[in-house]
Amino acid sequence: MKFTYYPGCTLRTKAKQLDIYGRKSLEALGVDFEEVKEWQCCGAVYPISRDEVATKLSAVRTLNSAKVEGEGKLLTLCSACHHVLKRVNGDMKNDENIRFKANNYLALEEEYAGETDVIHYLELLRDYVGFDNIKRAVKNPINKKVGAYYGCLLLRPSKELAFDSPENPTIIEDFIKAIGGTPVIYGMRNECCGAYVSATNKEIAVKKSVKVTDDAMGHGAELLVTACPLCMYNLTENGNKKVPVYYFTELLAEALGVKE
């Protein structure tokens, strides 16, 4: 099976090393993938207005590219990109009004109706590669107490994203175990860190980030791992500096022995 890979803007610019770790890890695990040709920004934020169509068009182009260029499996690495692409895909599949308007705007050769499967990198590790296979491929076990930080965008709205339980998720903890770490369960792991207001209200961002990092440390975490580059930045910049924050692809690359 071949996956169509969508890196997103942040992971190709300021956080490009995280994208490199992800690619090297896919290669080490034998995953067949190819980057979307001429991809665009996904839109970054899913619009709240139900009749908003224009800001969803770039996401529809990417989804359609995965359908036309590949095998209809769109692999995402950033939780924000995953959130937008999956929800827009749901609109194209289930909302006749949005589907009609988007297809009219884009004038595609063949109408797009939500045929692509949007798959987060962590879902690929769990559902396609398998955590047991990852465990067997590990060369450098992490050997640390690691707190998983889910944040907002991976888990909610739970029915639309269908990623994991919004109240008691396990996918990142299972990932931590697979790479040789010991997962730490703490109360703030799926609460907002305030990343979206970090530029406009630093006080709130600091307050929320410190709550997350202090709670993780209080339960014994030696480091945090997240799947959102914005959360990673915010927790590093505004949280308790005593606990380092890593992107999950960096820890994966280190465990697999492909981190330079």
What are the structural domain ranges in the chain? Answer: 2-122, 139-256
CA angle (178 as vertex; 176, 180 as ends), nearest 5: 70
Q: pLDDT tens across 20-67, in order? A: 999 999 999 999 999 999 899 999 999 988 889 999 999 999 999 999
- Collect all residues with Cβ–Cβ distance below 8 Å to 43 and sequence separation of at least 6: 55, 56, 58, 59, 84, 88
For residues 37 and 20, give the distance between their C-alpha atoms in angstroms, rounded to a whole number. 18
Q: pLDDT tens across 226-237, in order? A: 999 999 999 999
Q: pLDDT tens across 60-109, in order? A: 999 999 999 999 999 999 999 999 999 999 999 999 999 999 999 999 98
For residues 82 and 260, give the distance between their C-alpha atoms in angstroms, rounded to a whole number. 27
CATH topology of domain 139-256: Rossmann fold (3.40.50)
Name the DSSP class of 36. P
What is the assigned CATH class of domain 2-122? mainly alpha
pLDDT at 48: 86
Q: Do the beta carbons of residue 11 and residue 18 sit within 8 Å? A: yes
Residue (of 67, 68, 63, 88) closest to 6 by Cα position? 63
Neighbours of 13 (CB within 10 A): 10
